[in-house]
Amino acid sequence: MGVYEVKSLEQYFKVYKRSVREPRKFWSKIAEDFVWYKKWDKVLEYRLEEAEVKWFVNGKLNITKNCIDRHLAKRGDKTAIIFEPNDPDEEAEHITYNDLYNRVCKMANVLRDQGIRKGDRVCIYLPMIPELAVTVLACARIGAIHSVVFAGFSESALAARIQDCECKMVVTSDGGFRGNKTIDLKGIVDGALETCPSIDKVLVVKRTNADIPMKEGRDEWLAPLYEKASTESIAEVMDAEDPLFILYTSGSTGKPKGMLHTTAGYMIYTAYTFKNVFQYEEKDVYWCTADIGWITGHSYILYGPLANGATTVMFEGVPSYPDFGRFWEVVDKHKVTQFYTAPTAIRALAKESTDWVTKYDLSSLKVLGSVGEPINEEAWHWYNDHVGNKKCPIVDTWWQTETGGLMISPIAYATPTKPTYATLPLPGVQPVLMDEKRNEIEGNQVVGSLCIKFPWPSMARTIWGDHRRYKETYFSAFPGKYFTGDGALRDEVGYYRITGRVDDVVIVSGHNLGTAPIEDAINEHPAVAESAIVGFPHDIKGNALYGFIILKETGETRNRENLTREINQYISEHIGPIAKLDKIQFVSGLPKTRSGKIMRRILRKIASKDTANLGDTSTLLNPEVVEDIIENAV
């Protein structure tokens, strides 16, 4: 993929200009470097007002041919995936491109034998083990739409995701290892499936050897089916715009949004951005610490790296197990060259002694990456000084589940970095800042709502089953433009700094949590009348959650401590432990506008202990509650 490679700032500006002046030519030139059954008739068709976009119209391809088959001649024996288990004493596995081909074909045949066909949805609820990568790719090979659900989500969150896109099958395991815990994934699946009539089959991977119940006629161990499956499987012919996967993200109403990504544009964009931003070279070993249950894992553990024939590390564990040196031990062990993680992990490790870092040889590192939330200055410097030894550029990559790939980010060794800045838009990305009157803000040293004004190949095409919601959420606030939900500033040289969400989404430990689904969970507690959740700054997690809760007037006698515990239990059950509240305040009322909307702006200020200037409260229906809430804030 040599075309439009960026190696210097000067080259970046040249390539960027071309990508804006002639986007169709630009992307078709890059697309030429991939394997197609049939080339496209037209590069781009779009109507952003209608949230309609098509790239590489009528092109035919299969993404696994591009991620696996085409590498076999040259790189068959090269390691595609290094699997680093949770337990450091368990041996790492090196899966070559040849092995990966065989495994994916076998799994593809198992899925076909079990009745899965092109267009069917397969839910994947697996820990970070090789079978997760293999199942994702096997779905892509046969044209089934994968819906990976992060294995930290609860029973009801899993059920909601299965129901929404009516999956036919779940692929899970007998359990998962995470640090010193084992997680009973199969138990969670069994619970979820009580309300999921669309599921006919559950395939179960053996990982922990836990003794688990298997439901007759529905559950099957994967191993025996897999053993006898053939290692050849013809890749389905997919249209450029055929769905590749659904991945759920939180929204500002309770129901998760199933973001739908399609085949060709997603492939080309993740491949191009991976190669450039991380400056991946043939012998490099790249490690992204995300879970494949999130978009970062989809695009930058699997598809982007594999499309480039890269070696990508897949890590089952956590940064603190068996000790705080684990990340650095793995970097040293596998001679990692590009390391990509989240600010929340950096902050947690920066709290510990630097001896954990200096104990290991990190001299293989060339590029460091950050993703998931704004990285604060202190964490940036710690990462730069102690991990990168001041010689590795930090690529602070801003993007979203919805964007499919990196959008605003330095290109390593080309773009000069600046702490806390995601810097410049990647080629093909046209960001704009908008003011409250929906006008584009020109010039530099300005702040506004971040929008993108021209389509890029990996943008989500819709929300599964609800195009209207897609259009309303992303294309109606600023008609004709994609609205990201983030605020940003543009500095004097045109660098972007993301300032955070401007909507009802809170990023906790890099996880995108909608406040509405958490409120819905809390409101199910019999003692709760109403609730409002906001984020407040937290040293390690970036943001933590603060709940304002009104209790029903039933003469509630349970003590507040018990209630707090129970409410968090409800959240754990409905969403997962990641969404637990750090602080809970029981209040008599919530500040509301005359139209009945909770004024979260005020609650956010109270939660952040920033009550000096609450702004205009005159439009409130009940200004008196504000004083009361401030007085009793926790």
**What residue ranges in 417-541 does DSSP mark as E strands?**
431-434, 446-452, 462-463, 482-490, 496-501, 505-508, 511-514, 528-538
Residue with nearest beta carbon to ligand 6R9: 401
Angle between helices 9-21 and 23-31 (to 10 degrees): 110
Q: How far apart, in whole angstroms, are the C-alpha atoms of residue 493 and residue 229?
A: 57
Tokens encoding 443: 């010039």
Which range in 112-120, 217-225, 291-299, 358-366 contacts ligand 6R9 by CB under 6 A? 291-299
Whole-Å CA distances, 150 to 123, 194, 511: 10, 19, 11
Q: Which of 276, 344, 384, 401 binds ligand 6R9 (CB under 6 A)?
A: 401
What are the start-end ranges of the H helices in 441-595? 467-475, 515-523, 560-574
Q: Which of 174, 190, 241, 396 binds ligand 6R9 (CB under 6 A)?
A: 396
Interacting positions 193-252 with ligand 6R9 (CB under 6 A): 249
Interacting positions 356-395 with ligand 6R9 (CB under 6 A): 370-374
Q: Which is nearer to ligand 6R9, 245 or 398 (CB)?
A: 398
Should residue 312 be labelled a site residue for ligand 6R9 when binding is judged by CB under 6 A?
no
Should residue 398 be labelled a site residue for ligand 6R9 when binding is judged by CB under 6 A?
yes
Should residue 512 be labelled a site residue for ligand 6R9 when binding is judged by CB under 6 A?
yes
Q: Which of 397, 417, 509, 531 binds ligand 6R9 (CB under 6 A)?
A: 397
Q: How far apart, in whole angstroms, are the C-alpha atoms of residue 233 and residue 247?
A: 26
Should residue 507 be labelled a site residue for ligand 6R9 when binding is judged by CB under 6 A?
yes
8-state DSSP, 69: G
Report the nearest approach of ligand 6R9 to the CB of residue 422 (Å): 5
Integer Rg of the chain from CA? 24
Closest residue by Cα to residue 88 from 287, 334, 288, 298: 334
Q: How far apart, in whole angstroms, are the C-alpha atoms of residue 42 and residue 245?
A: 23
Q: Going by C-beta distance under 8 Å and a sequence separation of 6 or more, which residues neighbour residue 384?
A: 368, 390, 392, 394, 419
Report the nearest approach of ligand 6R9 to the CB of residue 572 (Å): 20
Report the nearest approach of ligand 6R9 to the CB of residue 401 (Å): 3
Q: Which of 75, 121, 207, 501 binds ligand 6R9 (CB under 6 A)?
A: 501
Classify residue 108 as exposed, middle or buried by CB count within 10 Å of its CB (0-12, 13-18, 19+). buried
Q: Which of 84, 486, 504, 519 binds ligand 6R9 (CB under 6 A)?
A: 486
Q: Which is nearer to ligand 6R9, 306 or 407 (CB)?
A: 407
Q: Which of 235, 498, 551, 579 binds ligand 6R9 (CB under 6 A)?
A: 498
Q: Which is nearer to ligand 6R9, 109 or 250 (CB)?
A: 250
Report the nearest approach of ligand 6R9 to the CB of residue 128 (Å): 17
Please tell me whether residue 236 adopts helix, strand or coil conformation. Answer: coil
Q: How far apart, in whole angstroms, are the C-alpha atoms of residue 594 and residue 503?
A: 19
Should residue 421 be labelled a site residue for ligand 6R9 when binding is judged by CB under 6 A?
no
Which range in 73-81, 184-192, 289-297, 330-338 contacts ligand 6R9 by CB under 6 A? 289-297
Q: Which is nearer to ligand 6R9, 177 or 399 (CB)?
A: 399
Which range in 271-279, 281-289, 482-490, 541-549 contacts ligand 6R9 by CB under 6 A? 482-490
Should residue 400 be labelled a site residue for ligand 6R9 when binding is judged by CB under 6 A?
yes
Q: How far apart, in whole angstroms, are the C-alpha atoms of residue 306 and residue 304?
A: 6
Q: Which residues of the chain form contacts with ligand 6R9 (CB under 6 A)?
A: 249, 294-296, 370-374, 396-401, 422, 484-486, 498, 501, 507, 512
